[in-house]
Structure 1
Amino acid sequence: MADTPTPHDAPITQTWRSAQEEVVWQGRFITTKQRGNWEYVSRARNIRAAVILAVDANDHVLLVEQFRVPLGRNCIELPAGLVGDVAASADEDATEAANRELEEETGYRAARMEVVGDFYSSPGMVTESFTLLRAHDLTRVGPGGGVDDENIITHRVALAHIPQFIAARRAMGDAIDVKILMLLAPHILGTAR
């Protein structure tokens, strides 16, 4: 007796080309959408993120560790935050948000922020983009740790020791954000000095 195919086994008919986008659900920060057979998530109100690559004069990078509810565990990440996520900052740009978030999360201030470009983290599932900024001339000005009850831990790690640090954190059970790959790339590609 042949197995009867289930809906999950059947080929997918691509209906998104001729369908209109529909909002399935919208919350304060995210919106789930569907266009034909394609399901995806967007940031509500066109909110986007600013991500900061902060390397100090001694070739140490600032990383942050914080609990991420969707993962159910701590995650090692670059400092980052939403642009214009609260009414008081609704018209801020990515550079302003990056300066604010770097200081809030790490306690460091940059004399200059350089926009590297806009990127998409998971374009097959999420429309969210982030602006990557490089922080220059860092000065420690406060304790960091985030705002409210974020409980962010800052790690200052030598670039040369990134692979060992990430391996140790992974062994401890921490999640590793995909943007950390840019720090691991020289080691993965065999081009590290």
Structure 2
Amino acid sequence: MSTIETLAEGKYLGLYSRDDWEFADRPNATGVVGILPITDDGQLVLIEQYRFPVQSRVIEIPAGLVGDEEEFKGESLADCAARELLEETGYRAGVVTPLLSGPTSPGMTPEITHLFAATELTRETEGGGTESEDITVHHVPLDQLSDWLIQQQVDGRLLDNKIHASLWLAQTQGLLPPS
């Protein structure tokens, strides 16, 4: 394996070079989890937050970094996903099902995103994330999802592709309630 050269490194992001290829990585995390929350009555729980790199509010599935906090080092991917779900949406998952692990953007970063579905949800808090986050929680009936997402785009929000990927994967695994 060739040597990695650090070109620049900040608190949340680093720029590195290996074999004349520059790439970005997170110096403080080992990956990303995303979780698609599905309620028993056929709703998806999505979140909305402002994302500085794209200068826009983004509709997303709940997600978070793996291993970025000392107290959670060594935590399993499923436990990390369940913790992020509770933090961001206020829901505790009865069942966390792995969907897929794959590269986030393989031409730019070695980061791997691990997608899960959450079912048998119990609402414990209002959610909204930590004090450094400004998260809005949305409950969207599955039969209205397409129209709702279109309206979010019309209203100027961006849509994270992980919504579509995790939804398709959950559907293929029979995790969505019958419509």
- When the two structures are superposed, what TM-score results if normalisation uses the length of structure 2? 0.86
CA drift of 1:27 comes to 2.2
CA drift of 1:181 comes to 2.4
Paired position in structure 1 for 2:13? 30
Paired position in structure 2 for 1:137? 120
Aligned positions of 1:141-156 closer than 5 A: 141-156=124-139
Cα-to-partner distance string for 1:3-62 (whole Å, 9 max, x where unaligned) = xxxxxxxxxxxxxxxx75322112233221123442211121452111101111122111
Higher relative contact order structure (alpha carbons within 8 Å, sequence separation ≥ 6) = 2
Summarize the Cα distance change of 1:178–1:90 in structure 2 as closer, same or farther, 3 Å threshold.
same
Please identify the structure whose Cα radius of gyration is greater. 1
1:69 and 2:58 are equivalent in the alignment: no
Given that 2:34 and 2:63 are in contact with CA atoms closer than 8 Å, whether structure 1 keeps it comes out as yes
1:181 and 2:164 are equivalent in the alignment: yes
Given that 1:159 and 1:183 are in contact with CA atoms closer than 8 Å, whether structure 2 keeps it comes out as no
- When the two structures are superposed, what TM-score results if normalisation uses the length of structure 1? 0.80
Residue of structure 2 aligned with 1:172, choices 135, 144, 155:
155
What residue ranges of structure 2 are gaps of 5+ in the alignment? 170-178
Runs of 4+ in structure 1 over 4 Å off = 183-186
Aligned positions of 1:1-193 closer than 5 A: 20-182=3-165
CA drift of 1:184 comes to 7.2
Stretch of structure 1 that moved more, 32-41 or 89-98: 32-41
Aligned residues: 170
| Partner secondary structure for residue 53 of structure 2 | coil
Given that 2:36 and 2:166 are in contact with CA atoms closer than 8 Å, whether structure 1 keeps it comes out as no
What residue ranges of structure 1 are gaps of 5+ in the alignment? 1-18, 187-192
Given that 1:51 and 1:132 are in contact with CA atoms closer than 8 Å, whether structure 2 keeps it comes out as yes
Please give the alpha-carbon distance, in whole angstroms, between the structure 2 residues aligned to 1:154 and 1:58. 17
CA RMSD in angstroms, aligned pairs only:
2.1
Given that 1:109 and 1:140 are in contact with CA atoms closer than 8 Å, whether structure 2 keeps it comes out as yes
Identity %: 34
Summarize the Cα distance change of 1:57–1:30 in structure 2 as closer, same or farther, 3 Å threshold.
same
